[in-house]
Structure 1
């Protein structure tokens, strides 16, 4: 292993069956561009959503899916790794695995429920359980409307456990001109929370601060 690969930040990224596959795919591209190694987990429902909402058709085989996502994101060999639904020996499955943030984007309300109640019926749920018990960074991006009392209670419980709930609700103060601009708004916030550089959109007040700098 080279010194460069040792310094490479690892991010766990999970896709579940909520609408908003574009957010997760754009985040994957941005993580690759930021030189992160990305451990990807995709539920069966997420595969259906991705095929419905985008032109990306993912094969069912994990190895082929890994190749497809790596090509989509422009990744180097080994930079994107895909783990299957019951790959209990993968790094995200144990607290003794690599210490890495977990982003579930998009996050279904079913996954919210599973995480709030400690279920670990598949690798995504187990990875979330590991993140909570190890006090690792856990960011959840739900996309649902309206939220029921159950959804809100689960989000409150998870927030109290240390998770960050970041609904896929883009702002409009940056005057978006396309759907991609709306997607980038959320992805930029995710990258900020992960401590990664991003140039998808200026931060609030950045232009004002530059204007106040002396010539």
Structure 2
């Protein structure tokens, strides 16, 4: 980049369950001085955050470098000339999946995702829904064919999670990996930490 040595990551939070994933991702990136996070949250994202955690919107946004109004479609992240390393939408609702898939950019989160795709930058969507309908699957297939990384936050057992926090950290680690970052406490397959048989959760 011409005017800064920091790398920028756009972070979108939509109204699916899993807002703790966004919180832990922002916390992790806050500890990395070489990265900036540019955050936009949908109305549904705020509501879900308040329902699922004891964290307020203002407490969450304290972890971001810069926060944008969801209705400000003229913000920096709405332009391809504002250089980023890409974008992650975490969690990503099926409504947001549909909006991005069909180029329906009626708010800043959707516009930022549209820009990420058109500029051929990495877009990672932590798509959260179950079961998945044929409509959901077709939309995600279309996005994957456009180069989007569709990453449902699946439970993983080979890393022997002992708590919800362990499962959360693993997904956050996988997100960070997509942008070349090694997450703290991320247990990769083949390491000594993944050898011991799984103990039953109490």
TM-score of the pair, normalised by structure 2 = 0.89
How many angstroms does 1:69 deviate by? Answer: 2.9
Alignment of 1:113-132 (within 5 A): 113-132=98-117
Aligned 8 A contact 1:34 1:197 in 2: no
Residue 205 of structure 1: aligned partner: 190
Higher helix share: 1
Aligned 8 A contact 2:159 2:189 in 1: no
Alignment of 1:150-165 (within 5 A): 150-165=135-150
Residue 81 of structure 1: aligned partner: 66
Q: Which moved more, 1:28-37 or 1:109-118?
A: 28-37
Count of residue pairs the alignment pairs up: 191
How many angstroms does 1:70 deviate by? Answer: 5.0
User: 1:132-166, CA deviations, whole angstroms, 9 ceiling, x for partnerless residues?
Assistant: 11111000001111000000000000000110000
Residue 38 of structure 1: aligned partner: 37
User: 1:69-122, CA deviations, whole angstroms, 9 ceiling, x for partnerless residues?
Assistant: 354x3xxxxx62110112223221011112331000000000000111111100
Cα distance in 1 for partners of 2:169, 2:85 equals 23
Alignment of 1:31-110 (within 5 A): 31-35=29-33, 36-58=35-57, 65=58, 68-69=59-60, 71=62, 73=63, 80-110=65-95
- Root-mean-square deviation (CA, aligned residues, Å) is 1.7
SS in 2 for 1:10: strand
Alignment of 1:146-185 (within 5 A): 146-185=131-170
SS in 1 for 2:106: coil
TM-score of the pair, normalised by structure 1 = 0.84
How many angstroms does 1:200 deviate by? Answer: 2.0
Structure 1 residues 95 and 187: CA distance shift in structure 2, 3 A: same
Cα distance in 2 for partners of 1:204, 1:33 equals 25
Cα distance in 2 for partners of 1:200, 1:34 equals 15
How many angstroms does 1:174 deviate by? Answer: 1.2
Structure 2 gaps, min length 5: 194-202
